[in-house]
Structure 1
Amino acid sequence: MVLRHLRYFVAVADAGSLTLAAEQRLHTAQPSLSRQIRDLEYEVGAQLLARSVRGVELTPAGKAFLEHARLALDQAEAAVAAARRAAAPAKPSFALGFLTGQEMDWLPEAMQTLKDVLPDIEVTVSSGYSRTLAEALMRRKIDLAFLRPEPGMPDLEYRLVAEEPFVAVMPSDHRLAGREAVAIEDFRGETFLGMSETAPTVQAAIEAYLKRSGVVLKPAHKVDNLAMAMSLVASTRGVTLLPAYAKNFLPWSVTSRPLAGDPPTIDLVIGYNKTNASATLKLFLSRLDALIARCRTKRGSIPDRPRDGGPG
C-alpha cells in the first residue's frame, strides 16, 4: 500500500466528490484518480466509496478505514519532519494556535515570552475554530493553543487564561444601542441569533444563561463564526450574545453593549498535549502567569470604543 493511495482516498472523502478532489485538491485527471481508488479497494479487499446522487459517500468499511488513513498520513509526515531535523538540525521551533481573533490580544505577549526564552526560535502561528485547534493539539500539529476548554479531549491539559464576559451585540442604530447596559429581558420580541454546534462551549454558555434568567429566546438563525454573526446582525437587524473579544471585529454598522446584572462568562484557556515533552513548552508555561498579568494590564489601560457613530 502506497501513501499516494491514502492521500487520494482522504481527499475524495473530504471533498465528497471524485471530480472536486481531482480538480481542486489533487490536480490530476478524474479517470486516473478513479483507478487509484479502485487499486486501493482491491488491496484492502473491501469497497470504500459508493457513488450517489450527491457525489460519493463512504461505505461502512470506508468510514472505518478513513481514521486510520489520516493517522498513517500524519505519522508519515511526522517521520519525514523528524528525519529532516536529524539530517540538518534546525533552530528551535514552536507552533502556536489561536481561537480566531484572540491573537490580537495574546500573540504579541506570547511572542515576546518565547523570544525571551529562545531569541532565535522559529514560531509558526495559526488560527481557527476552538475544536479544530484542540484536534491539532491532540495530533501534535501545534504545541500550544489559546482556545475554549473542549470536552472529550483526554490527552489535553488546560490552564485558565481569562474569564470573558458576554456582551449584547446589535445594529448600531438599534433601539437598545442607546442604553448603557442591556438586560437579557430586552431581547424579547427581537430577532435572536443563536450559536451553532460549531462552537459548543459558547452555545452551552448562552443556553445556560438564558435558562438561569428565565428568558426563552428561539433563535431565528444560528451562526457558525464571528464574521457570520456580524453579517446576520447587520442584514436581519437581529441581536445576539458574543464573548467580549468580538468587539475587536465589529464593523461600523454593528455595536455592542454590556449585559446588565451578572453577565455570563466563558473561559479562555491555553491548551497543550500532556505527552508533549518540549522544553520550550515547559519554559513557556513557567512564564504564563507573568504573560497573563501583562495582557490584563494592557487591556485595562485601553478605553472602550466610543458609542457615537461606531461600534461599541
Structure 2
Amino acid sequence: MDLRHLRYFVAVAEAGSLTVAAEKRLHTAQPSLSRQMRDLEAELGCELMIRGAKGIALTAAGRVFLDHARGVLLQVEAAIEATRRAATPAKASFVIGFLTGYEFDWLPAVMRIMRDELPATEVVILSLSSPDLADGLMRGKIDLAFMRHERKASGLVFTRLIDEPLIVLMPAEHRLAKRRAITADDITVEQLVGVPHDKSPALRSITDAFGKRLGIDLAPDHEVDNLSMAISLVASTGGIALMPLYARNLLPSTVIYRPLAGVAPTIDLSLGYSEVNTSPLLKIIVSRIGDLKFSHA
C-alpha cells in the first residue's frame, strides 16, 4: 500500500462515485481507478465500498478506513510543510490564526510578545473560521490559533483563555432595542440568524443546548457562514442573532447588542496548536500565555 492508494480512496469516498473521482478530481481513467480500489481491498482483505448504478456507498470497514486515511494524509502534509520550513531557517516566520473578529482584542498582546522575544521574525496573520483554523494547524500551515476547542480535531493541544457570554444582536431600530436585557419569550417570536453545524460547530451546539434548556427552538431561520454575514443579515432582515460578546467589536451603527436575561450561556476562546509542532517560536508564545490573559483582563 502506498500514499496513492490512500489519496485515491479518499477522493472516491468524498465524490461518492468512481467516475466523478476519476474525471473531476484525479484526472485518470476510471478503469484504472477501479483496479486500484480493488487492489486496495485485496490488500486489506475486506470490502471498502459497495458499487452501484448511482455510485458507491462505503461499508462499515470503509468508513473506518476513511477516517484513518484522512489522518495519515494530513500527517504527511504536515511533515512536508514542517520540513520545507525547516530547510529555510533564514526566513523565520510564524503564522498566527484568529477566529475572525478576535484580532481586535488579542493581536496587540501577541505582537508585544513577538517584538520582545523575536523582533526579526516575520509574523503572518490569518483570519478564518474555527474549523478552518483547526485544519490549518493539523496540516502544519498555521503555528498558533485563537479559536474554539474543536472536539474532533485530533493531535491539537488547547489552552482555554476566556469564556464569554452570548449576546443578542439586533437592528438599532428594533422593537427590543429599548430593553435592557432580552428574554426567552422575546427570542421565540423573532426571526433568528444563526450558524450551521459545519462552519461553527461549537457555537451552534451551545445555542441548541440553550434553546433546549429554555424549552424553545433556536434552529436558525437564516444560516450564515461567519459573523460579518450574520451582522449584514440582521441589518437587512430585521432579525436577531445570538453571538459571542466579541461580536460587539464589529458592529456598525445600524446594529446594536443587548445581554440575555438571567444566566447567559458562554463559549470558550482557546489557544490551539499542534502537539507535533517543534517550533521554538511556538514554545516562547505558549510559555507566555499568562501574559496574554493578563493583557486581556
Query: TM-score, normalized by length of structure 1?
Result: 0.72
CA distance in 1, matches of 2:108, 2:158: 21
Q: Counterpart amino acid of 1:171?
A: P
Aligned to 1:149: 149
Aligned to 1:302: none
CA distance in 2, matches of 1:9, 1:101: 37
**CA, structure 1 residues 52+173, in 2 after alignment: closer, same or farther (shift >3 Å)?**
farther
Deviation at 1:168, TM superposition (A): 0.8
Asked if 2 retains the 8 angstrom alpha-carbon contact of 1:145 and 1:272, the reply is yes
**CA, structure 1 residues 108+56, in 2 after alignment: closer, same or farther (shift >3 Å)?**
farther
Aligned to 1:278: 279
Runs (4+) off by over 6 Å: none
Deviation at 1:243, TM superposition (A): 0.6
Aligned to 1:203: 204
Aligned to 1:39: 36
**CA, structure 1 residues 33+68, in 2 after alignment: closer, same or farther (shift >3 Å)?**
farther
Aligned to 1:191: 191
Asked if 2 retains the 8 angstrom alpha-carbon contact of 1:137 and 1:143, the reply is yes
**CA, structure 1 residues 132+233, in 2 after alignment: closer, same or farther (shift >3 Å)?**
same
Aligned to 2:292: 291
**CA, structure 1 residues 23+108, in 2 after alignment: closer, same or farther (shift >3 Å)?**
farther
Asked if 2 retains the 8 angstrom alpha-carbon contact of 1:184 and 1:215, the reply is no
CA distance in 2, matches of 1:166, 1:86: 41
Q: Deviations over 1:142-191 (max 9, x none)?
A: 33221123346685443332332221122343211344543343224223
The secondary structure found in structure 2 opposite 1:167 is strand
Deviates more, 1:36-45 or 1:46-55: 46-55
Aligned to 2:171: 171
Q: Does 1:66 align with 2:63?
A: no
**CA, structure 1 residues 84+258, in 2 after alignment: closer, same or farther (shift >3 Å)?**
closer
CA distance in 1, matches of 2:270, 2:4: 38
Asked if 2 retains the 8 angstrom alpha-carbon contact of 1:147 and 1:269, the reply is yes
Q: 1:251-262 to 2 correspondence within 5 Å?
A: 254-262=255-263
Q: 1:1-312 to 2 correspondence within 5 Å?
A: 1-17=1-17, 21=21, 25-26=25-26, 28=27, 32=29, 34-45=31-42, 48-51=48-51, 55-81=55-81, 83-84=83-84, 89-134=89-134, 136-137=136-137, 142-151=142-151, 156-193=156-193, 195-198=195-198, 199-210=200-211, 214=214, 216-219=216-219, 221=221, 223=223, 225-226=225-226, 227=228, 229-230=230-231, 232-234=233-235, 236-250=237-251, 254-274=255-275, 276-295=277-296
CA distance in 2, matches of 1:190, 1:24: 43
Q: Counterpart amino acid of 1:95?
A: V
Q: Counterpart amino acid of 2:176?
A: L
CA distance in 1, matches of 2:87, 2:4: 24
Alignment root-mean-square deviation, CA: 3.7
Deviation at 1:252, TM superposition (A): 6.5
**CA, structure 1 residues 285+178, in 2 after alignment: closer, same or farther (shift >3 Å)?**
same
CA distance in 2, matches of 1:119, 1:42: 53
Q: Deviations over 1:37-92 (max 9, x none)?
A: 42243244155444557654434443233233323333433444455456554433
CA distance in 1, matches of 2:145, 2:128: 10
Q: Deviations over 1:73-112 (max 9, x none)?
A: 3343344445545655443343323223323433344244
CA distance in 2, matches of 1:161, 1:76: 30
Asked if 1 retains the 8 angstrom alpha-carbon contact of 2:192 and 2:239, the reply is yes
Q: Counterpart amino acid of 2:63?
A: K
The secondary structure found in structure 2 opposite 1:225 is coil
How many residues align structurally? 292
Query: TM-score, normalized by length of structure 2?
Result: 0.75
Q: Deviations over 1:213-251 (max 9, x none)?
A: x46345353635335534654565432311122234446
CA distance in 1, matches of 2:115, 2:23: 42
The secondary structure found in structure 1 opposite 2:173 is coil
Deviation at 1:270, TM superposition (A): 1.0
Point out where structure 1 has 5 or more consecutive residues left out of the alignment: 297-312
